[in-house]
Amino acid sequence: VPQASTYIDLSIPGVPLPILTYEVPESLGRAPIAGMRAVVPLGKRIVTGFITEVHQRTATANIRAVLELPDSEAIMSEQIIRLCRWISHYYHAPLGETLKATLPQGMDIEGERIIAMQTADIEQIESAIGRSKIKRAILDQLSTGEVISEDKLRKTVHASSISAQLRDLSADGIISIETVMKAPTAKVKYRKAIRLQAGWQREAQIRELIELIEKRAPKQVNIIALLWSAFQKGVVSLPMQEAIESARTGSSAVHALADKEIIEIFEEEVTREVSITYEEVDKEITLTDEQQSVFATLSAQIDAGEFAANLLYGVTGSGKTQVYIEAIAHALATGMNALVLVPEVSLTPQLVYRFRKAFGDEVTVMHSRLSIGERFDAWRLTREGKYRVVVGVRSAIFAPLDNLGIIIVDEEHEPSYKQSDQQPRFHARDVAVMRGWTESAVVVLGSATPSAESWHNAQQGKYQLIEMTKRIAGATMPEITIVDMIEARKMSAAKGSFSDDLLARLRSRREQSEGSIVFQNRRGYAMHIECGDCDYVPHCINCSITLTYHKDKQLLQCHYCGYTSRLPLNCPECGSKELHQQGSGTQRLEEELQELIPETRILRMDFDSTRRKGSHDMMLTSFAEDGADVLLGTQMVAKGLDFDRVTLVGVVSAEQSLLMPDFRAEERTFQLLTQVSGRSGRGAKKGEVVLQSTQTAHQVFTHILEDDYRGFITIELQRRKALFYPPFARVVLITFLDDNDGKAAAASRVFANLIEHKADFFKMYPPQAALIKRINRKYRYQVFCRVDKQKDPDGLRFESVLKAAETEFHKRRESRGVIVVIDIDPYNLM
């Protein structure tokens, strides 16, 4: 009797193939559903893919069978799949890769080849080895009788690939190769726990038992007493390890009780969760009229249960966080769930703390510093409905929450929302709006300095503009002063990086025990080494980048690839001993300030000093409580901090970000300086801000001094329109990477030629070397396009041009091996 077969369409990440069709054998005993994973054979490999479609007929020949359906139900919702389809088209990323990005790491089920020795016949082995060194090394390793995976074997024999050798040896009958499925790295964690057996849960029995064994087995009595007192408090089981420790005994007492069937030892699921180390004194919270009115708008939208997109433009200190909390509480109360995106969790301990305070066990946090297990648990338990509020970074936009009521994107202008290092290169804010649309949720984009894109969308009526113009009770906007550093240096009114003006204010804050923040508006540490006698500057051997000097480790380090080298004693070019430090990183700045104001207590906060888990929280707590005078750091000190005692913010070189070769330089400078200024005067006392700059005449500073966002963004949008930049055009950056300079350059020209003749709805700049021409041993060339949004509203026209060009490009032999990176709406043009 012929049976109807079931087929699935599978999207496989990491394989540049179209969607493939497989047959599902009935022997698997499980019906496939879109959104489940499927483990399948692909060539000689075993890989995991995502089911996007289930059907009963197929026109495809040569169909292979699914090996396993590991999920008992769909692990991604239909809406998430729909969202991924959009992302895949808009951002020109493979669907499989995009679907994979919605899951935590370590869930892959892959094949692994296990190698074992098959014969001990020396002659046979010697003849199979022949003259191959690799084969000899492989068999030397295997002769111990060890059974080992191909991967481990390859590493122990130090070869780049041993697949050909293994194939030969297997054909000669020397070794056996078996492909097995490797267990995923992310697993549910269990621990041993103990509980009283059902028959031993009454007081009389326990008393009787204790009396009986008191003399002979006092340790067992301890355990029983512990379990009984917990039981009375409603705690049914205790972790075995902890119980043994508090009973001051060993496992034998526990096992004895288990043997007597008084207690039971069982495996208990453990949730891995990070505890937060940041704490603050809780303030009395009542909503201001303005907060109340924003809340009213949002709660009405939530009740309507329809998609709505809002731009919440609220000045720093206007209390956006509290509005978020109230709106989420409202969504939860009506049975809906909430998603909150933040630029970087470790930079917003205060926000996380307040959410934990407000929502307790219902909230989970997702970010990159979590371990694989922690991330897996956060994802899994969210999907199971244990968590109803997810606070997380960019990737948390895919959190498996159903019944979404509200999605909040805090600090929506932050560049960290754009993923640029791997596919899909999506913008989490834009995906959030799309997710809100597909799931009929309310979307709130919050910022004190909205991005040009969002402001434009609000003006166009795509987003509803909601404003919060006042700081909450007591706090006023700080007074901003600008110091012309060129003038100050001429007049000898500056010492090193600090103007006399800023120094005087820092001194007076210290005397009044008020806090100050000194902000170094510079990415990383710009400390390099220069020879005083020739023009030698140490560069990275892999990248066209000067090496950065780290004084504490006495090392030179590449900011891009991580290459390190020792600090040379003499100049390698001319032998001179005159090697000087140039530039001023945060470390140098700290030393300078310490020298200028010896009695001041400085807390330095940058990437290096906060690398350890939780050290960021600890520094902030210590600045808030024990009161160092100055918090000195990079962009980290600009973000989300809310300290009443800070009344002065100094920016050392306010022009730095302005001089970056990027069309967003002005916007970023305005955002950064407004943000850092907002750290001053959040309490009752009025704050001050000192901006030191060599470019005081620049228009950006006029708007910053007047705290005039509208004035700034109006002019900025005019400029963007005139130059055909976003939000008026859609920017696409195509980068070509190769070890060989000429090959990368040629590839960029080939590709440019392939798209140029289609350029009736976009403009293309001719290909050129990237600003940093070499990173990680790869030369980089770029083609920059600006697509007319009117003529290509959803980006699909340009996508098809890219697709066609890529297909043609890969046919050319001169482009072989060249890596092509396509970034839609890029945020980093370097």
Among 34, 41, 222, 537, binds DNA (CB under 7 A): 41
Task: Kindly tell me which of 110 and 362 has the beta carbon lying closer to DNA.
Answer: 110
Among 63, 183, 541, 659, binds DNA (CB under 7 A): 63
Q: Evaluate whether 358 touches 325 at the Cβ level (below 8 Å).
A: yes
Distance from C-alpha of 791 to C-alpha of 174, rounded to nearest angstrom:
64
Task: Kindly tell me which of 115 and 401 has the beta carbon lying closer to DNA.
Answer: 115
Which distant-in-sequence residues (6+ apart) come within 8 Å of 12 by Cβ?
20, 40, 42, 47, 48, 49, 50, 96
Q: Which helix (H) or strand (E) holds 775?
A: strand 768-775
Distance from C-alpha of 398 to C-alpha of 80, rounded to nearest angstrom:
7
Sole window of 13-21, 187-195, 472-480, 494-502 interacting with DNA (rule: CB under 7 A): 13-21
C-alpha torsion angle, residues 707, 710, 713, 714 (rounded to 10): -140
Residue 66 CB, shortest distance to DNA, in Å, is 9
Residue 116 CB, shortest distance to DNA, in Å, is 17
Sole window of 42-50, 192-200, 588-596, 669-677 interacting with DNA (rule: CB under 7 A): 42-50
Q: What b/e string do you get for 107-128 counting C-beta neighbours within 10 Å, with b at 16 or more?
A: bbbebbbbbebbeeeeeebeeb
Residue 128 CB, shortest distance to DNA, in Å, is 8
Residues in binding contact with DNA, number by CB under 7 A: 32
Please tell me whether the peptide bond between 661 and the residue prior to it is cis, using omega within 30 degrees of 0: no
Binding of DNA at residue 28 (CB under 7 A)? no
Task: Kindly tell me which of 126 and 261 has the beta carbon lying closer to DNA.
Answer: 126
Residue 3 CB, shortest distance to DNA, in Å, is 18
Binding mask 126-165 for DNA (x = CB under 7 A): ---xxxxxxx-------------------------x-xxx
Task: Kindly tell me which of 21 and 176 has the beta carbon lying closer to DNA.
Answer: 21
Sole window of 10-18, 211-219, 438-446, 474-482 interacting with DNA (rule: CB under 7 A): 10-18
Task: Kindly tell me which of 164 and 491 has the beta carbon lying closer to DNA.
Answer: 164
Long-range contacts of 423-427 (CB under 8 A, 24+ apart): 423/91, 423/93, 423/94, 423/97, 423/98, 423/101, 424/87, 424/88, 424/91, 424/93, 424/97, 424/98, 424/101, 425/91, 425/93, 425/822, 425/823, 425/824, 425/826, 426/87, 426/91, 426/93, 427/825, 427/827
Residue 828 CB, shortest distance to DNA, in Å, is 21
Among 25, 31, 45, 121, binds DNA (CB under 7 A): 45
Sole window of 36-44, 225-233, 509-517, 540-548 interacting with DNA (rule: CB under 7 A): 36-44
DSSP 3-state percent helix, strand, coil across the chain (nearest 5): 35, 25, 40
Binding of DNA at residue 22 (CB under 7 A)? yes
Task: Kindly tell me which of 40 and 746 has the beta carbon lying closer to DNA.
Answer: 40
Residue 422 CB, shortest distance to DNA, in Å, is 11
Binding mask 64-103 for DNA (x = CB under 7 A): x---------------------------------------
Residue 685 CB, shortest distance to DNA, in Å, is 56
What is the DSSP-derived secondary structure letter of residue 798?
H
Binding of DNA at residue 812 (CB under 7 A)? no
CA angle 690, 693, 698 (to 5 degrees): 110
Binding of DNA at residue 283 (CB under 7 A)? no
Residue 120 CB, shortest distance to DNA, in Å, is 20
Task: Kindly tell me which of 22 and 228 has the beta carbon lying closer to DNA.
Answer: 22
Sole window of 55-63, 201-209, 617-625, 713-721 interacting with DNA (rule: CB under 7 A): 55-63
Residue 53 CB, shortest distance to DNA, in Å, is 12
What residue ranges in 583-685 does DSSP mark as E strands? Answer: 602-605, 630-633, 646-651
Write the single-letter amino acid at 408.
I
Q: Evaluate whether 379 touches 373 at the Cβ level (below 8 Å).
A: no
Distance from C-alpha of 703 to C-alpha of 714, rounded to nearest angstrom:
11
Binding of DNA at residue 42 (CB under 7 A)? yes
Q: Greatest CA separation found in the chain?
A: 99
Distance from C-alpha of 190 to C-alpha of 723, rounded to nearest angstrom:
59
CA angle 19, 21, 23 (to 5 degrees): 155
Q: Evaluate whether 577 touches 488 at the Cβ level (below 8 Å).
A: no
| Contacting positions for DNA (CB under 7 A) | 14-17, 20-22, 40-45, 60, 62-64, 129-135, 161, 163-165, 167, 813, 816-817
